[in-house]
Structure formats: structure tokens, C-alpha cells
Structure 1
Amino acid sequence: MESFEHYLDQYAELAIRVGLNVQKDQTVVISTPIACADFVRKLAKKAYEAGAKDVVVDWDDDEVKALRLKNAPDDTLRTYPMWRAKGLEEMAKDGAAFLSIYAPNSDLLKDIPPERVAMSSKAAATAREGYLSYTRSNKVNWLLVSYPTAEWSAKVFPNLGESERVTKLWEQIFTLTRVDKADPVAAWKEHIGTLTAKMNLLNIKKFKQLHFQAPGTDLYIELAAKHQWVAAGSESERGIFFVPNIPTEEVFTMPARGGTNGTVRSTLPLSYQGSLIDGFSLTFKDGRVVEATAEVGQEVLNNMLNMDEGARYLGEVALVPYDSPISQSGLIYYNTLFDENASCHVALGNSYPFTIEGGTAMSPEELEQNGYNKSLIHVDFMIGSKDMAIDGVHADGTREPLFRNGNWA
């Protein structure tokens, strides 16, 4: 068996060469918790080897963030350093590539009043809206990967000792990102091909609606009239092919803003802004959430839904088979990047313009006319299970089975 360092090196190589696909003379921006410093240095080395002209690191620290949320005055929590937001936007405008390392600590903020967390989150999202418009529209190449921290691994493997659980989580990540294959790049090309075939099939079908049925779920989602299904890879405004999520098992598209009706129940916990929401159900009428209940995290859920008007509407619907490798691992990761790839899911909040035909070239008004939902948030939550059935419904009302018993029919 290869050494840990070998696999870590492969993981960094995969992130830079396949995920971001860094180009010669491109600036690479890495946003990361300080706990991931060793991995960041490896990523920086790989980026320079790929031809990057500069690597800019935007450091963050969860403990300092928690101290601020506990102690700063309300007025301070309603602000965000504009130099940070403008700096990211300027680099996006200049064609930089953006890599974010996501290592959630879902218990970090459990003792902090949710309204203070919501206040700070809204300020950050509002300030960063210009920068986020570049990543949400795929104008730049960007990537989200994860790194096992002591806190995150303790959540996934609570019965193991600290070093053992971190090692165990690394093993899972190496397997689920195909880093443990003899040739990870070739394995990813094959995987992208499989997902692309599903995407092409759905784009031929042009369903008007999807009907989801499972225990606690009976939901109709109307798809945007010009919707297009998207899989693993995307192309930036400058023609760079990149894979924004590693791992990824989904094909996804845009719901019509006002076209979701019925009730849906979550099937996995949602780690949101340092808090956990679990056992929650949402009822939709004409696209909007009109009722929301949660067994855990009700106040956090309410604050999320009240972030802005668009937070109560869907921005994405994604199909993932129950027999995906992440689901088959039998673990709950408390990390949306992994958990969303274990299960069919939907996202509350902002839509992705690239999930409708010609969307990235449309004006805000044109996007709205074509079913786009605008919001400060984009929060995926998991609804798939081994009991999930999904039908594709055509404009004339005829149906085709898409999923049965949680998998492609």
C-alpha cells in the first residue's frame, strides 16, 4: 500500500490539475481555515508547478470567528471588511482561480444565539455578492475540497481516538475522491463520462416536472422552461474546463422559481454556519416555503429561511443514486460537500445561471423571466433515500420512471 504522503500528494495534484485546472500565468486564491496549513502549502507548490504566477491565501480561523460572534457588538456583526470582499472581486475580474477548503465544525457555534450568527452571515453574503456572482455563473474556474480536522473527524467517528479518527477520515476522502486509484486523473475522466451520459439523457427528455415520493415526501418540482442539466465539469468564461466539487456524484438543474408544491423531508443532518439542523420538513406552495419544522435547530432553520425573500425558494434540484460510493460508505459526514453526493438533494436560495440555456449571458431581468431565483444563500439539503421514487413528467402529463428504490430506474 502507498504511503499517506503519496495519497496526499495525489489529492493536491487532483485538486490543482483536474478540479481547478490551473492555467499558465493564472493567480490562484485559496480560502482556508488555518488548521489546513500543511495542505495549503502542498497545494501552493502544485499550483506553481502547473504554471500559476501567484498563490494568494485567504486565511480564516474558526475559534477567532466564534469569539467575534460571542463578544462583538451587534453593529459590528452587521458589517464585513469590504477590503476582503473587493479584493476577491478584483481578482475574479482579473481571471483568478479560486479554491476553497471546507472543514466544518458543526458544534462550534451551538452556544451562540442563532440570530447573531444570522446577522454576521447576512453581512458577509451581502458584501461578497459581487465576488460570488463570478463563481455562481462559472465565469471563473473554482473548486471546493475538504480536509479532515480534529473537530470534523470527531463528529464522523465519535468512538475512535483523535489520531485514529483523523486517519480514518483521510482514508474515506482518498477513496471517495478516487485518489487511491493507480491513475486518479484517468479515473476521474471515466467518472465524468458516466455523469455526462446521464446529463445528456435528461437534456434530451426535457421534462416539465419532477415528482418525488418517499416517506414524508410528496413533492412536485417544475423545472425552468429553458433548464439544462449539468454534471461534474463546467467551462469558465475563458474556456477553462474545471470540476468545481471533489467529490461529485450529481446531475443538477434549475427549478422554476414559482413551481414547487408539496412537502419534503430531509434524510440527512444539515451542518449550516456552525450549527446542526436535523429531522426537518418543508412545505411549499407556488414555489415558496410556507411551513418549516425541525426536530433539531428550528431557530437556525427559521433564520436561514428569513435571510431574504429568495431563501424560501429552490435554486437547484440534483439527482444522486442511493448506491453512490458516498452513500455506500454508510457514514454521515456532517459536511454538505460529501453528504449531498450521497443523496438526491435540493438547494434553497440562489440559482446557478449556467443551469438554463444562455443563462450566463442574460440580464437579471431576463434571468428572472426564465425562472431564476436570486438570494444571498445557496444551501443544499439531502432528501434522497433507498425508498425514493422519482417520475419525470412531460408537458402533456405523461410520466417516465427516473428513480425507483433510490436508484436510476
Structure 2
Amino acid sequence: MKTFEQKLHNYARLAVDKGVNIQPGQTLVIAAPIDAAPFVRRLAEAAYEAGAKHVYPEWADDELTKIKYEKAPEEAFHEFPSWRAESREQLAREGAAFITVKSTDPDLLKGVDPDKIANANNAAGAAMEGFRDYIQADRVSWLVISTPSSGWAKKVFPDEPEDRAIDLLWERIFSAVRADTEDPVQAWDEHNRTLRAKVDWLNAKKYKSLHYTAPGTDLEIGLPDGHVWAGGGSTNTSGVPFIPNMPTEEVFTAPHKDFVNGIVTNTKPLNYGGNVIDQFTLHFKNGAVTDMEAGEGEDTLRHLINSDEGAARLGEVALVPHSSPISQSGILFFNTLFDENASNHIALGSAYAFCVENGPEMNKDQKEQAGLNTSIVHVDFMIGNENMNIDGILPDGTKEPVFRNGEWAE
């Protein structure tokens, strides 16, 4: 049985060697909360051992974030420092790799004026559009991972003392990213092969649309001509393979921004902007949300959908069987990186350019013409459960089962 230190070492090595796949002479940028500093040091050590030239940390702090929302003047939330956006774009142009470590308390901004949160998110989203293009076209290697924080751990394990809750969350993270296996690299290689088989099967089908049915959901999602399914590992435009998310259990593509019709209901809470949104239903017509209701966080949801024109449309459709390891853990993580890998999900906002043929080479107008949505946001939310069925509709109108009762039909 591996010790905590062994699993922590494996996690750092996986993130650097399989996640962003650092190359000799490359720069690594790590955006992380200050609580994760001990783990960031391990990432830096692993990166330098792999040949990195520079490791640049970018620190954030939940408490400082909350203080700003409570004390800063209103105009502060309409601004985003241009130097931060410009530095990210410069580093991306120079071929840096990027790791983001997420561990925010899901209730961090509970009670904060949702207008402030929306304005801050919109300002950041607009300023970071250029950098986001590098990420969503896979021009650079990037990775999103998580480490525990006290607030997050207590949300997941509310009946446990803080130290015990953090230990339990570490163990769940290690399991989800396969850091606790005998050979984590081999485990990831095998997992990627499994996902690749589903990707190849779906790409060969060339479905015109997918029809989802479940309690509270009856939704048809059109797929663009030339859409491309992806999953597991990706390859950046320099030909370097990497894994954007750890964990990952999904295969995904881009929907057509104008061909989404029906209703869809979430099956797991969405943590967005330090607030929880839950028990919500969205109504779509010709691709756009026309109505919505939510049992919790409706104001936050409404602000999200009104972020810009594209925020009311879909940018991702992802398939995850109900039997995925994270789903079978029975744990609600209140963290989209984990919860999206326990459930079929879709995303409001921008689409990944590589999800359509020649997408990474397209300009904004060409992406729109191809059916790809553009937005300053990209927010996944979970819609799958053991009752969900999905049919693939071929160009001639023939329907084929893709999911039955939450599982792959093939």
C-alpha cells in the first residue's frame, strides 16, 4: 500500500510528465491558491527535473478574494489588469505550458451581490479572450487539477473534523487521478486507450444530432458538419501530447450553436463564481436559452447566461457513463473538474476550436459559420444519471442508441 508521500509524488509527476508533458527548455506557469504552495513546490521540482527552464507561480487566495468583494468599490469589479492578460498571451506565444490548481471553497462568495461577481467574471473573460484562444485551440499544453482546501473539504465531508476531511479529500483525489495505482503512467495509458476507442467509434458515426431523454430532460443537440470527438489526451499544435484534465472520464465535442431545442435539467449542483446553483432547468430554442428556473442560485445563473450573447448557447457536449469511477464513489465534490467526470454534461459558452475539422486555423467569423459558439465564458454543468437515454441521429434520420440507462449502449 502506497504512503501519502508516494501518492503525492506520483500526482506531481503525473501532472508534469503526462499532464502538460514538459519539454526541455520549456516554461511552466502554475496558477494556484497559496494553500497549495507545498504541492506547487513539488510540481516545480518535477518540472525542473524534466528539463523546464522556468517555473512561474501565480498565486491566489480565497480570503483576499472575499475581502475584495466585501470592501472594494463597485468600479473595481468592472476592471481586469491588462498586464495579466498580456503576460499570459506572451508566455503562450513563447510556448509555455500552463497548470491550474483549483481548490476554491464552493461557498466562498455566498451572500455576495451577484452583480459584482458577474461584472468581475465578465471583465476577466473579455480581457483573457486572446489567451483563451490558445487554450481552446490546443495551441499550448495545459492542465487543470485540484488539491484540497479546508473550505472545500468541509463542504464535501461536512460531518468530519477539518483535518480528517482534508485527508479524505486527498485520498479521493489520488484515486480519481490514479496516483494510488502500482504504475500510474501505465494506468493512464490504458485509460486513454479506452477513451480513444469511444472517440474513434463516435467519429466514425458522424451523427447529425443527439437526443437526450431523462426525467426533466428532453433535448436535441445538433452537431456541426465536420465535428470531431475528443477525449483523454490531446496534442498541441507543436505535436506534443498532453492531458488537459486530471481526472478525466469524458469524450466530448462541440454542438452546433444554432441547433439545440428542448429542455434540460441538472442532476448535480454547479459551483460557479463561489456560489452553488442547483435544481435548475433550461429551455432552448434554435440554440439559445429562452427561459430558466432554479431552486438555488437563480440570480447567479441568470447573470451567467447574460454574460454575453454566446453565454446563452452551448459550447460543449460530453458523454460520461454513470458507472464512471467518480460517479461510483458516491461523493458530490462541488467541483466541476470532478463532478463533470461523474455525469454526462454540457457547457454554456465557448466551444473548443479543435472540435471541428480545421477549427484551430479558423478566425472568429469562420468558427461562427462552422457552428462553433464563441463567448467569454465556458461553464460545464451536469445533466446525466442512471435514467438517461441518448439516441444518435444519422443524416438520413435513422436513430441509434448511444446511451441506455446511463451507460454506453455499445
TM-score band w.r.t. shorter chain: over 0.9
Q: Which residue of 1 aligns with 2:20?
A: 20
Matched to 2:57, the amino acid is V
The alignment partner of 1:256 has SS state of coil
Matched to 1:344, the amino acid is N
Q: Which residue of 1 aligns with 2:88?
A: 88
Q: Which residue of 2 aligns with 1:206?
A: 206
Q: What aligned pairs does 1:9-408 form with structure 2 within 5 A after superposition?
A: 9-408=9-408
TM-fit CA distance, 1:385: 0.3
In structure 1, what is the Cα distance between the partners aligned to 2:128 and 2:357? 26
Q: Deviations over 1:175-196 (max 9, x none)?
A: 1111111100000000000000
Q: Deviations over 1:128-179 (max 9, x none)?
A: 1111111111100000000011111101100111111111111111111111
Matched to 2:91, the amino acid is M
In structure 1, what is the Cα distance between the partners aligned to 2:166 and 2:58? 24
TM-fit CA distance, 1:311: 0.2
In structure 1, what is the Cα distance between the partners aligned to 2:152 and 2:396? 48
Over the matched positions of the two proteins, sequence identity in percent amounts to 50
The alignment partner of 2:302 has SS state of helix
In structure 2, what is the Cα distance between the partners aligned to 1:65 and 1:129? 22
RMSD of aligned alpha carbons: 0.6
* Farther off after superposition, 209-218 or 127-136: 127-136
TM-fit CA distance, 1:364: 1.6
* Farther off after superposition, 20-29 or 60-69: 60-69
Segments of 5+ residues of structure 1 without an aligned counterpart are none
The alignment partner of 1:263 has SS state of strand
Segments of 5+ residues of structure 2 without an aligned counterpart are none
In structure 2, what is the Cα distance between the partners aligned to 1:121 and 1:261? 27
In structure 2, what is the Cα distance between the partners aligned to 1:87 and 1:314? 29
The alignment partner of 1:351 has SS state of coil
In structure 1, what is the Cα distance between the partners aligned to 2:336 and 2:79? 26
Q: Deviations over 1:55-97 (max 9, x none)?
A: 0001111111111112211212111111111111100010000
In structure 2, what is the Cα distance between the partners aligned to 1:137 and 1:273? 24
In structure 2, what is the Cα distance between the partners aligned to 1:220 and 1:307? 24
TM-fit CA distance, 1:3: 1.3
Matched to 1:172, the amino acid is R
Q: Deviations over 1:197-235 (max 9, x none)?
A: 000000000000100000000000000111010011111
Q: Deviations over 1:295-315 (max 9, x none)?
A: 000000000001000000000
Given that 2:62 and 2:104 are in contact with CA atoms closer than 8 Å, whether structure 1 keeps it comes out as no
Matched to 1:352, the amino acid is Y
In structure 2, what is the Cα distance between the partners aligned to 1:37 and 1:220? 44
In structure 2, what is the Cα distance between the partners aligned to 1:98 and 1:181? 25
In structure 1, what is the Cα distance between the partners aligned to 2:229 and 2:2? 38
TM-fit CA distance, 1:104: 2.2
* Farther off after superposition, 267-276 or 71-80: 71-80
Q: Deviations over 1:254-311 (max 9, x none)?
A: 1011000000000000000100000000000000000111100000000000100000
Matched to 1:323, the amino acid is S
In structure 1, what is the Cα distance between the partners aligned to 2:359 and 2:83? 30
Tell me how many residue pairs correspond in the alignment: 409
The alignment partner of 1:279 has SS state of strand
The alignment partner of 1:257 has SS state of coil
In structure 2, what is the Cα distance between the partners aligned to 1:234 and 1:161? 39
In structure 1, what is the Cα distance between the partners aligned to 2:125 and 2:166? 31
In structure 2, what is the Cα distance between the partners aligned to 1:119 and 1:63? 19
Matched to 2:324, the amino acid is S
In structure 1, what is the Cα distance between the partners aligned to 2:88 and 2:52? 17
TM-fit CA distance, 1:237: 1.3
Matched to 1:307, the amino acid is S
The alignment partner of 1:283 has SS state of strand
The alignment partner of 1:247 has SS state of coil
